[in-house]
């Protein structure tokens, strides 16, 4: 059964498919694994517009070309999770299951989402990116981890890697991706999600509160929630073995 599953990995904002290196190294022993780069984040396409749509179209083009005989499970982190949610709501027939890591229906605070970032914080972040792109990104990369995690080899490697490659990202696309995070409000799309769904969230996440992950799980019927104690925004990096074990257990139901 496992050999008939495609795993489609979608990275988060201001990163690329490199983040899934550890997952793919292990899981490709059992599954067909693909990781795509979103527009402007390693892809040769640019992110045109301030909504999720350019990324959704990119994922749709990719997913439609996967082996149709296999079941496809989408795995999205943060912005990638939002893109995956919106894509699966639009064309649910493309996916047999979803895995959402550090994901929320709304990145900013709204009436139905009390756990988002304050709009003023995001506006300041955008201004900083426009004025000082690389230093602002480098500060963001460290925010993905708790203070304890920043001492780990995994976090140090992540921060050092993106400090060296972020200049290759398309500045306007990265900023457009941030605008898309602000624009995205996926509460109504959840009614179209009728498939096995796993939600993984770090309890120490300072970018998207784990309370947002709990609210997301409560809004998707039958969703399985796994809180990773003490992890920040990227538990699949710092608690890789645990997250891979959880993922493989979830995939048994696909």
Residues 6+ apart with CB under 8 A from 74: 8, 10, 59, 63, 84, 87, 88, 95, 97, 98, 99
Q: What is the CATH number for 118?
A: 3.40.50.1820
Q: Averaged over 24-40, what is the pLDDT?
A: 95
pLDDT at 229 over 50: yes
Q: In whole angstroms, give the CA distance from residue 137 to residue 31.
A: 33
Question: What integer pLDDT is reported at residue 68 of this predicted model?
Answer: 81
pLDDT at 2 over 60: no
Q: Please state, rounded to an integer, the average pLDDT across all residues of the chain.
A: 95
Question: What integer pLDDT is reported at residue 69 of this predicted model?
Answer: 84
- The percentage of residues in the chain with a pLDDT greater than 90, rounded to a whole number, is 91
Q: What burial letters (b/e) apply to 50-60, b meaning 16+ CB within 10 Å?
A: bbbbbbbebbe
Q: In whole angstroms, give the CA distance from residue 249 to residue 183.
A: 34
- At 236-254, the pLDDT tens digits run 999 999 999 999 999 998 8
pTM of the shown model:
0.96
Is the separation of the CB atoms in 81 and 103 below 8 Å? yes
Q: Averaged over 161-187, what is the pLDDT?
A: 95
Q: Averaged over 216-235, what is the pLDDT?
A: 97
Question: What integer pLDDT is reported at residue 176 of this predicted model?
Answer: 97
Question: What integer pLDDT is reported at residue 55 of this predicted model?
Answer: 97
Q: Domain containing 161: what range?
A: 2-251
pLDDT at 1 over 50: no
118 is written with which tokens? 């304050």
Number of domains comprising the chain: 1
- At 103-146, the pLDDT tens digits run 999 999 998 778 899 999 999 999 999 999 999 999 999 999 99
- The percentage of residues in the chain with a pLDDT greater than 70, rounded to a whole number, is 99
């Amino acid at each position: 059964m496992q050999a008939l599953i495609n795993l489609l990995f979608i990275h988060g904002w201001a990163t690329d498919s490199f983040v899934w290196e550890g997952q793919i190294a292990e899981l490709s022993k059992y599954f067909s694994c693909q990781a795509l780069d979103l527009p402007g984040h390693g892809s040769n396409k640019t992110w045109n517009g301030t909504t999720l749509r350019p990324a959704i179209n990119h994922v749709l083009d990719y997913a439609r070309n996967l082996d149709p005989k296999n079941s496809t499970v989408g795995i999205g982190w943060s912005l990638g999770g939002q893109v995956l949610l919106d894509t699966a709501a639009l064309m649910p027939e493309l996916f047999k299951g979803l895995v959402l890591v550090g994901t929320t229906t709304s990145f900013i605070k709204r009436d139905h989402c009390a756990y988002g970032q304050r709009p003023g914080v995001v506006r300041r972040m955008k201004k900083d990116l426009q004025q000082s792109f690389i230093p602002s990104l480098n500060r963001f990369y460290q925010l993905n981890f708790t203070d304890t995690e920043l001492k780990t080899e995994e976090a140090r490697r992540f921060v050092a890697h993106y400090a060296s490659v972020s200049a290759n990202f398309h500045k306007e696309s990265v900023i457009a991706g941030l605008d898309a995070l602000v624009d995205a409000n996926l509460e109504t799309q959840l009614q179209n999600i009728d498939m096995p769904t796993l939600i993984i969230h770090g309890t120490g996440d300072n970018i998207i509160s784990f309370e947002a992950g709990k609210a997301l799980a409560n809004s998707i019927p039958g969703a399985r929630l796994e809180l990773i104690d003490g992890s920040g925004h990227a538990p699949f990096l710092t608690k890789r073995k645990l997250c891979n074990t959880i993922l493989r257990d979830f995939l048994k139901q696909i």
